[in-house]
Each structure stands twice: as C-alpha cells, then as structure tokens.
C-alpha cells in the first residue's frame, strides 16, 4: 500500500520570503518545499515521522502585489528570555506595530493554488505502536475533516491556507502552465539542515508543465 498523499491548497495571498532580502519581504515565485512541509505538519506531525515533499504543482498564474506594512523595529532580546527562564522579574512583551512602527515593503503572491505531493518516512523516534498505516490514516482523517493542530499558512501567519485532500479518483487540477515545457525559477531555498550546525540548503527549481520535482536533502547533496 502506498502512503503518498496529494493535498490541494489555495489562498488569497502568500509570501515565501527570499532569505537574501534583508530589509524588505520579497516572495519567491512559488511555494518553497519547507513551506509545503510546514502545511503538512500543521495537519499531522509526530516525532515518529518525517514529511518528504516530492512534487509541487503550480496551478494558478504567478502574479504579485506590492504593499507597505507596519512592522515592529525591535524584537525581544535573547538575554531577557534567559533572565526570565532563570526566574528574574522580566516582562517579555512585544510592542505593537502602531507603538513601534517600521514601514516595510512586501512583495507578495496573489491568488495562489498548489497541489503538494508528498510522503512520510518513519524516524528513529518511532515507538512500538507507530507504523505507517496508523499515521497515514490519522493524516487522511484530519485532512478530510479540515482539521489541523495549528492554522497552516502561506509563509506568513496572516495568509491562511485552505486545503482539500485529493484521494484516489480525484484528478489533479489543470495547471495554468500545463502547456509550458520548461521554466527556470532559479535557485530556491530547499530547507534548513539541522546537523552539527543549522545551515540552509538550496536547489535549482525547474518547472516543467507546471510541476516542480523536489530533491530530497537526505538522499543527495542539494
């Protein structure tokens, strides 16, 4: 039995921020594999499994909007967090954007829709009661009912994700780029490698007829 899944996701806005942009938020052209993984984990994740994104189908035409948003200038200091953890009388409070304004440009995606093809693998943290069929059934049950542990989002929490499980008998929606043989979307963030130190990994995103095949970091060098 195959434990791969197809999840149809869509929303009004999305922003998958390019890490090379420091001051402004500028989105990639499509959803990143790490964002797709985050959506799956929002529906079902346990230490016993690891989600692997296989393909991303880009359904709608890629289009952008530019807006200015009020963000905060400062952040809570790590030193204050450590003091609070040690029992010091420290107030950990983030100031509101209207109290500490910082206007920044955001270049975001408009009217996005994707199909995520993925599977999961069992990890070393799997217990005696963990097995692939169990976790597959849990994910499918939750996805069918529209349930999640926390609201999945497209890059930023203000861009919520709507989702629908595509089961056997449900065809993948036709992509706007179904007649486009190949489109090079340049280098894209694959994910963060949490090895001896946290390091970003990138891959060359090539879209063929609206589909991007995603390499697996753990199988080959990315």
Strands 162-165 and 25-26: unpaired
Does residue 69 belong to any structural domain of this protein?
no
> What is the structure's pLDDT at 175?
95
> What is the structure's pLDDT at 61?
96
- Structurally, how many domains does the chain consist of? 1
Check which CATH number belongs to the domain holding 149 and give it: 3.30.70.2660
Q: Identify the DSSP state of 38.
A: H
Does residue 33 belong to any structural domain of this protein?
yes
Residue 140 near residue 165, CB atoms below 8 Å: yes
Does residue 220 belong to any structural domain of this protein?
no
pLDDT tens digit string along 85-105? 888 887 777 665 555 567 788
Does residue 144 belong to any structural domain of this protein?
yes
Mean pLDDT over all residues of the chain? 88
- Tell me the C-alpha distance between 215 and 160, whole Å: 26
Does residue 20 belong to any structural domain of this protein?
yes
Mean pLDDT of the 70-97 span:
75
Residue 48 near residue 130, CB atoms below 8 Å: yes
Q: Of the candidates 13, 211, 204, which has an alpha carbon nearest to the alpha carbon of residue 116?
A: 211
Look up the domain containing 195 and give its range. 5-64+111-213
Does residue 188 belong to any structural domain of this protein?
yes
Inter-CA distances, 119 with 82, 108, 135, 192, Å:
38, 28, 11, 19
Mean pLDDT of the 191-208 span:
85
Q: Is the pLDDT confidence value at 136 over 80?
A: yes
Does residue 101 belong to any structural domain of this protein?
no
Does residue 95 belong to any structural domain of this protein?
no
- Tell me the C-alpha distance between 164 and 10, whole Å: 9
> What is the structure's pLDDT at 194?
74
Q: Residue 82 — φ and ψ, nearest 5°? A: -65, -40
């Amino acid at each position: 039995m195959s434990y791969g899944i197809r999840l149809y996701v869509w929303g009004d806005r999305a922003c998958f921020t390019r890490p090379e942009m420091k001051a402004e938020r500028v989105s990639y052209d499509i959803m990143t594999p790490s964002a797709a993984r985050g959506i799956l984990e929002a529906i079902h994740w346990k230490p016993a499994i690891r989600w692997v994104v296989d393909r991303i189908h880009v359904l709608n035409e890629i289009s952008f909007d530019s807006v200015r948003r009020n963000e905060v200038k400062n952040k809570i200091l790590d030193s204050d967090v450590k003091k609070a953890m040690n029992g010091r009388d420290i107030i950990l409070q983030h100031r509101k954007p209207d109290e500490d304004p910082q206007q920044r440009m955001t270049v975001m995606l408009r009217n996005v829709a994707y199909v995520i093809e993925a599977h999961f693998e069992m990890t070393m943290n799997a217990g005696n009661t963990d097995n692939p069929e169990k976790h597959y059934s849990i994910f499918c049950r939750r996805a069918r009912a529209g349930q999640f542990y926390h609201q999945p989002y497209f890059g930023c929490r203000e861009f919520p994700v709507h989702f629908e499980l595509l089961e056997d008998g449900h065809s993948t929606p036709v992509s706007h780029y179904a007649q486009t043989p190949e489109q090079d979307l340049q280098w894209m963030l694959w994910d963060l490698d949490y090895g001896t130190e946290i390091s970003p990994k990138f891959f060359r995103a090539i879209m063929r007829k609206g589909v991007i095949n995603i390499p697996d970091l753990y199988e080959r060098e990315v």
